[in-house]
């Protein structure tokens, strides 16, 4: 992550003034820094809707009882690659730039559904067996 020119300028001038150390210099620094206004980037309405959509889908996928059911739910969203990348990041799934749309879908289903189902099967291997 780089630093923009304005930020670099502010840091450079601040460092120079702090090195000199006199009260007059500190006062000048305070006046200089007051010229700059920092803004916290807000979340746009589009991003809020995207996060809600992602959250809802994750809940649906977590409740899925099979990979096929999860894939159908994922396909019903008709996601773009960008949307799948955001979804992957939300669930902590690493994404590689070369990942294709279908590969991302498979990774997401594996991460959310198959891993859970495999874990449940290992913990309770007899749950799928029919009583005799």
- Residue 42 DSSP label: P
Rounded to the nearest integer, the mean pLDDT of the chain is 78
- More confident position, 33 or 63: 63
pLDDT above 60 for 81:
yes
Neighbours of 54 (CB within 10 A): 20
Q: Structure tokens of 120?
A: 């449940």
Residue 103: half-sphere exposure toward Cβ, Cα within 13 Å:
7
CA–CA separation, 109 vs 21, rounded Å?
A: 59
Q: What is the pTM of this model?
A: 0.56
**Quick one: which H or E segment has residue 37?**
none
Q: What is the mean pLDDT of residues 92-110?
A: 87
Query: Are the C-beta atoms of 63 and 48 separated by less than 8 Å?
Result: no
Range 44-53 burial, b when 16+ CB lie within 10 A, else e: eeeeeebeee
- pLDDT band for 130, please (50, 70, 90 cuts): very low
CA–CA separation, 36 vs 67, rounded Å?
A: 52
Query: Are the C-beta atoms of 55 and 91 separated by less than 8 Å?
Result: no
Q: Which residues contact 116 (CB under 8 A, 6 or more apart)?
A: 62
């Amino acid at each position: 992550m780089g630093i923009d020119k304005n930020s670099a300028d502010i840091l450079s001038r601040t460092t120079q003034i702090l090195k000199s150390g006199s009260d007059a210099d500190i006062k000048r620094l305070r006046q200089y820094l007051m010229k700059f206004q920092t803004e916290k980037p807000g979340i746009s309405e589009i991003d809020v809707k995207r996060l809600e959509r992602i959250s809802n889908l994750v809940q649906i996928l977590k409740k899925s009882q099979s990979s096929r059911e999860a894939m159908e739910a994922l396909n019903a969203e008709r996601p773009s690659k960008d949307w799948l990348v955001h979804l992957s990041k939300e669930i902590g799934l690493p994404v590689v730039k070369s990942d294709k749309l279908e590969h991302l879908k498979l990774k997401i289903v594996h991460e959310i559904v198959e891993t859970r189902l495999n874990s449940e099967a290992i913990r309770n291997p007899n749950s799928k067996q029919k009583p005799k």
